[in-house]
A and B are shown apart, each in its own frame.
Chain A
Amino acid sequence: MEETKRYLQSFLFQNKIDIPKSKESLFEDFISDETNSAAVKIIKEKQKLIMDNWKLKNRIDDIMQHSFFLPNGTVNKEYESKIDFIKLGWEDIIFYEIENLEETGLYFDTAEKLLFGIPKRSGDLKIKFRFKIEGEAEEVLLNEKIVTLIINPDPKSLWKNIESDPNAPFSKEDNVAVSAVFLDKNIVVASKRGRSHANVGSFREDDFAFRNFEASGWSVLAVSDGAGSAALSRKGSKLACDAIIDYFETHLNTEVWSKFEELALNYHVKKDLESIQKANDFVSTNLSKAAHFVNQKIAEFATEQGEELKNFHATLIFTLVKKYDFGYAILSFGVGDCPINLINKDLTEVSLINLIDAGEFGGGTRFITMPEIFQNENFSSRFGFKIVDDFSYLVLMTDGIYDPKFEVEANLEKIEKWKAFLSDLKGDNAEKAKVDFERDNAAIATQLSNWMDFWSPGNHDDRTLAIIY
C-alpha cells in the first residue's frame, strides 16, 4: 500500500497536481481502490520489464561491439586457439555455437571452447558466433556475431619462378655450379638467383671467377654481388670478377712478384715489426692496383655503353693464394658486405680476413664502382695477408648466404657457428641436403647447388658460396 501511495504521489506531482490537505482522505480512498493499485502494479511490472529488456539489449549490444579477435593462422600450419569466456567477461553466455567452418579445415570443440585444425585456404574467414545470454527467453533467435579469422597464405606458395630472358643484354644463367682443382686443393662454387629475382624474371646479380696460374703458382678467386638498385649490376659483378682474373693474368709473372717470396718468408719466420710492415705494404700496394684496375675497367665499359657508372654497382671480394714450402700465403681484398673466412686444419679456429661494409641500417654497403673508397681512410684495412701451414676451408660468400646462415658479423668469427654451418652443409638441415667434401666427389657442385635451395623467410637474395677445401 505504502508503495502504491508513493508511486501515485510522484506521478501526480509530475503532472503538476498537488494533493491539498482537504483531499487527503479522498486520495487514501483512491489508493485503496483495487483498480488503481492493480494498475500501479502493472505499470511497475511493465517498467521493470522495460528496464530488464533494455539491460538485456544493451548487454547483447556490448558483446556484439566487443572487438574480440582470434589469433591469425597460416595455410597448412596447425592452428589452435581457445576462446576464453572468463577472460572475455562473457560468463553470462549460456548457449553458443560456431558456424561457417565447413571446408576451412578447422573444427570447434564446444566443450573445450577450442578452435583447431589445419587451415586450407588463405583469406579472412567470417566465422559466425551464435549465442544466447542469461535472461533471454527460451524461444528467441540466437544472437549472431561475426568474428574474423585471418588465415595467412603460405609464403612459399606466393613466390614465382620466372626464367630470365636469355636474349636480353648482359643476360646470364640463373644458376651455375662448378668444381675444379685449386692449387693442391679443390674448389666448389655455386651461384644461384634469389627468389626476389626469380619472382619477376630478372637476372642473378651475383658472380664469381677463379683461375690457377700455372706459371707463377698463384691461384685467384673472386666473388661479387651486384647492387639490386643498379640496373646493370649483373654486368658490373661479372666485369669485376673477370677484371681480377685479367689483372693477375698479366701482372703475376713480373719481377715484382718474385720478390714477394722473400718478404713472405721473412714475415713468417721473423714476425718482427719491420718484416710484417714490408710484407703488408707489398700486399696493399699490389692488390690496390688490382682493385683500381677493376674500378677503371668498369668505368671504361660504362662510358663505352653510354651508361652511368652507378648502374654497374657491385661489391667485390677476392683472394690470391699460393703454396710455398713454408705454407700457404693468403692475400685478400674486399669492398662490400661479403665475407672471406679461413678455417684452420683441425676446425678449432676461424678468421674473418676482410673488412665488412655494413651501414647503420640495412643496405648501407659500398661498391668497387665507388671511386671514393680509394680515398677513404680505412682503405688500408681492406687488405689482408696471412701465412698458414694449412687450412681446412677457405670460404667466400655473398650476403645471400651470410644473412640467413650467420646473420651478423660477430657470428662470422665464432667457431661454433662455423661448426654448425659445416654440419648444415654435411646434411644437418630440414631438407636433408648434403654436400660431400671428398676429393674425388664428382657430384659436389650439384650437391652444393641443391643445398643452396634452403628456405629462409625474409632472405631472398642471390646466393653465392665458394669453398676451397
Chain B
Amino acid sequence: MRRLPIYFLIDISESMVGEPIQQVEEGLATIIQALKTDPHALETVFVSIIVFAGQPKTLVPLQEIVSFYPPKFPVGSGTSLSKGLGHLMYELRNNIVKTTYEVKGDWKPIVFLFTDGVPTDNSQAAINEWKENWQRTANLIAVSFGNETDTKLLGQLTENVLHFKNTNVQSYKEFFRWVTDSIKTSSISVENNSSGFELAKLEGETLSKIDLTKAEPIRQYVDDNYVVLNGKCQNSKRPYLMKYRKTIAPSIYAGVELSSKNYKLVGAYQVDNSYFELADESTFNTTVNTEELTGFPTCPCCGNQIAFAVCVCDKIHCIGDEEISTCPWCHNQGSYGYGEGGFDVSRTQG
C-alpha cells in the first residue's frame, strides 16, 4: 500500500498561547475525525505533527490515522523557523519512502506550515536547503496566522502562501474544514495517479492566497505583535504565560497628538515544563515597560490575586496575601509592596 504522508509543522511560540493553540489542537483532532469518514483518506493518509518554538519537537511521529490520538500542544519561547524546517527535513529524510525496484514508495508528501509571526532567528540556510532538496519532492502550503507574518520569507518555500484571518471560533472551523478538504481531494487525486497537489477551493474571507509579488520582507528577531511574559506560580511552582496584544491608540502628550503603542491583556495561561524544553537556549534581553501594559491577571495556576510580582532576580511570580513570599525561581524570600510608576520587565521572544 502506498502511504500519503501529511506533515503539520506548527509554530507554538508564546504568541500562540491561549485560544490559537487550543483551536489548532481541536482543529487537528477534527481534521483527523473528518478524514476517517473518507474511505480513501482512512486507508492512505499518514500523519505527523512537528512543533517548533525556540526548539523543534516531533509531537506525533508519522503514523496511520487509525492510530492517531490528538496530542496536547505545548508552547515554547521563540520562533525558530530554521530549526523547525531543519527538523522537518530530518523527519522527511528518515520517513519518506521512495519507490525503488524493491520498495513501494509513498505518494508525494504534503506539508502544512502554520506560523503566526516572524522567525526569531535567521532562516535563510534552512530555506535554501528546502529549495534545493525538498521543494520538488514535497508539496508545502504555508499558512500565516495573523497579519504580520513574514510572507516574503514564506514565499521562498512555496508558491502556496495563505493568509488566515483568525477572528473567531467559526473562522478556525472554516479553516480546518478547508485543510481537511484539501487532504481529501489530494488523497483521491494521488489515487488517480496524478502527481500534483490540489488545494480545496477557497471561499469567503477567512482564508486568502497571498500575492507574493507584493509581499514585503520583515526583519526582526522579536515578534512585536504580542508581548508575552513568563511567570512561575509560587504555590505550584508551575510556569505560566501572560499574553498582551498590541493596540495602537491615539494619545495626547503635552498637547501633541501621538499614537502610542500599548499592549492589552489577552489572558494568563498555565503551561507545563516542556515550555523550557522548547525555548531558545540563547537569552534575549528584551524588556517592556509596565506602563505600556494594560491589565494585570491573577495567577492561572493557583488563583493568587497578583500574577505579576517581580523578584530581585528579575523574574515574575505570583503572590497572595502571605507576608513573606518565596520566589519560585531563585528562592529568595521577601515581602512585596506595590511599585510606583512603570518599570521594565523581561519579555519573551514571542
Q: Which residues of A contact B (CB under 8 A)?
A: 14, 54, 58, 67, 69, 71-72, 74, 122, 124, 148, 150, 152-153, 155, 158-159, 195-196, 199, 227-229, 358-365, 403-404, 407-410, 456-461
Contact = CB atoms under 8 A, between A and B. Distances in A.
B239 to A, nearest CB: 14
Contacts of B98: 360-361
24 contacts: A14-B324, A58-B236, A71-B67, A72-B66, A72-B68, A152-B66, A155-B39, A159-B39, A227-B192, A228-B189, A360-B98, A360-B137, A361-B137, A362-B106, A362-B107, A362-B108, A403-B1, A408-B104, A409-B102, A410-B102, A457-B1, A458-B3, A458-B44, A459-B1
Given A153-B36, A228-B193, A196 B188 contact: yes
B99 A358 contact: yes
B40 interface: yes
B195 A363 contact: yes
A196 B192 contact: yes
Contact of A229 (B70, B72, B192): B192
Contacts of B36: 122, 152-153
A459 B190 CA distance: 12
Secondary structure at chain A's binding surface: helix, strand, loop or mixed? loop
B219 interface: no
Given A74-B66, A155-B39, A199-B39, A409 B195 contact: no
B300 to A, nearest CB: 12
A148 B194 CA distance: 37
Contacts of A122: 36
B43 A457 contact: yes
Given A67-B72, A196-B191, A196-B192, A362 B43 contact: no
A94 to B, nearest CB: 23
Contacts of B104: 403, 407-408
A196 B189 CA distance: 10
A19 B194 CA distance: 89
Interface in B304-341: 323-324
Given A152-B66, A408-B103, A227 B39 contact: no
Contact of B190 (A14, A58, A158, A362): A362
B69 interface: yes
A126 B140 CA distance: 35
Given A408-B102, A410-B101, A458-B2, 18 more contacts: A72-B69, A148-B70, A153-B42, A158-B39, A195-B39, A196-B188, A227-B192, A228-B194, A360-B137, A362-B2, A362-B105, A362-B107, A363-B194, A403-B1, A403-B104, A409-B102, A456-B1, A460-B43
B69 A158 contact: no
Contact of A460 (B105, B191, B196): B191
A361 B72 contact: no
Interface string B1-44: 11100000000000000000000000000000100111110111
Interface in B53-83: 66-72
B108 to A, nearest CB: 5
Contact of A196 (B40, B67, B70): B40
Contacts of A408: 100-104
B267 to A, nearest CB: 18
Contacts of B195: 359, 361, 363-364
Nearest to B71: A67
B156 interface: no
Contacts of B235: 54
Contact of A228 (B39, B192, B323): B192
A176 to B, nearest CB: 21
Contacts of B323: 14
